[in-house]
Structure 1
Amino acid sequence: MNMPIRVLLAEDDELIREALVGLLVREPDITVVGTARDGRQAIEQALSSRPDVAVIDLQMPQLDGMGVIDELGRALPDCAGVILTAHGHPYVLRQALSSGARGFLAKGAPGTALADVVRRVHEGQRYVDPVLAADALTTPPSPLTQRETDVLVTARADRPVREAARELFLSPGTVRNYLAAIAHKLGAENRADAYRVARENGWV
């Protein structure tokens, strides 16, 4: 008889966490060996329980899901990571896959989907939720040039302009001009709003 798949589940919302655990424990070939309410606790739990699969919420306190997956990839390379999220933005998909995640699942997916994804990634397959993939594919193209994107990524919502300028090898005035142009293109009120718009659309 095959050993059950050992799963760690990390989700900061207690109700969602308990509901997901409830779904998984019904499966005869899956056992939940640990739960966590934040990213750091997820790392600690994983190191002590050594799961086969870690199901991690994208947005958590202390350390986000991709940070957890990245650390587990170094500490427990045989542990397959699955990211849970409500958003299918292209930048999230790219970052999740580059962080080493094997699966990418929407929180609103059918109840049986999580167990199926756990089995797939345990077998070495990859899985991207089709709803999230469709959302990513229908996101409009970025109106920003590559240079404008680089400036916005470096400056972020609130990084001091002088720091960003130093890293970009530009003058502070040039960076301010870029940020003003970016805000205008995105119809944003200010730099922070422009960064939010770009993030939500998956352009940075």
Structure 2
Amino acid sequence: MIRILLAEDMHMVRGALVALLNLEHDIEVVAEVASGDEIVPAAQANAVDVAVIDIDLPGKDGLTAAAELHQRMPSCRTLILTSLNRPGTLRRALAAKVGGFILKDAPSDRLANAVRGVAAGRRVVDAELALSAWDSTDCPLTGRELEVLRLATAGANPTEIAARLFLSAGTVRNYLTTIVTKLQARNRVDAIRIAKEAGWL
């Protein structure tokens, strides 16, 4: 029996996925959570084999939680669910050592087979996502620039970003100007939109 943790914040979707997975003879959902912060404690408490994680969760996002789970509980495999076909997101998922990455609107038998594949130690990636990642361009931003942009996306102003990253406000403004230039954006808001659509954030 493959023991599953399901992390999905939309109750109706989570209920449907639990019901679908529990129909399988070799899969049992033993834990359900609605936020990224609950994933690691629930996985550890329930001796989970595979964590099926929605990428967009309140608290910690799915990829951050998956990376943390990989560090804390290496025996637990992770399968990311997304409704967005963003090639940059797939690259981030692979960097976070996730075992699989599939679209939410995939047929239900594909989800069950992906769970089995990930549990067996295979890397399972939706073909459509793999093709779009193959054709995509690399993120032109450095790690620090992405960090600054993530904080700006959360609504922090340059002074607040500077305090969080132990930089001067002037340095943060320079980073933001560089980000806008590199992404060929009109302004900071446009840069955030471009980075989100590419899956870099």
Q: TM-score range by the shorter chain?
A: 0.7 to 0.9
Task: Report the counterpart of residue 178 of structure 2 in structure 1.
Answer: 178
Kindly state the Cα deviation for residue 71 of structure 1 after the two structures are TM-superposed: 1.9
Q: Is the 8 A contact 1:88 1:133 kept in 2?
A: no
Correspondence 1:153 to 2:146: yes
Equivalent position of 1:163 in the other structure: 162
Between the aligned partners of 1:40 and 1:180, the Cα distance in structure 2 is 32
1:98 has 2:91 as partner: no
Structure-1-length-normalised TM-score? 0.81
Separation in structure 2 between the aligned mates of residue 78 and residue 41 of structure 1, nearest angstrom: 18
Instruction: Note the 1:1-204 alignment, pairs <5 A.
Output: 4-139=1-136, 141=137, 146=140, 149-150=141-142, 152-156=145-149, 157=152, 158=156, 160=158, 163=162, 174-175=174-175, 177-179=177-179, 181-182=181-182, 185-186=184-185, 188=186, 190-202=187-199
Q: Which amino acid aligns with 2:188?
A: R
Once residues 99 and 176 of structure 1 are traced to their aligned partners in structure 2, the CA distance between those partners, rounded to angstroms, is: 26
Structure-2 separation of matches of 1:98 and 1:159: 29
Change (3 A) 1:194 1:7: same
Q: TM-score, normalised by structure 2?
A: 0.82
Matches of 2:28 and 2:55, distance apart in 1: 22
Instruction: Specify the structure having the higher radius of gyration (Cα).
Output: 1
In structure 2, what is the Cα distance between the partners aligned to 1:57 and 1:182? 30
CA distance, structure 2, for counterparts of residue 31 and residue 55 of structure 1: 12
Note if contact 1:52-1:79 (Cα within 8 Å) is conserved in structure 2. yes
Greater CA deviation, 12-21 or 88-97?
88-97
4+ residue runs over 6 A deviation: none
Task: State the identity as a percent.
Answer: 36
Kept in 2, the 8 Å contact 1:152–1:195? The answer is no
CA RMSD for the aligned pairs? 2.8
Deviations 1:148-173 (A, max 9, x none): x23742431355178399759x8567
1:50-107 deviation line (CA, Å, top 9, x unaligned):
1111101111011111122122212221111101111232321122112121000100
Aligned residues, how many? 192
Cα distance in 2 for residues equivalent to 1:75 and 1:89: 27
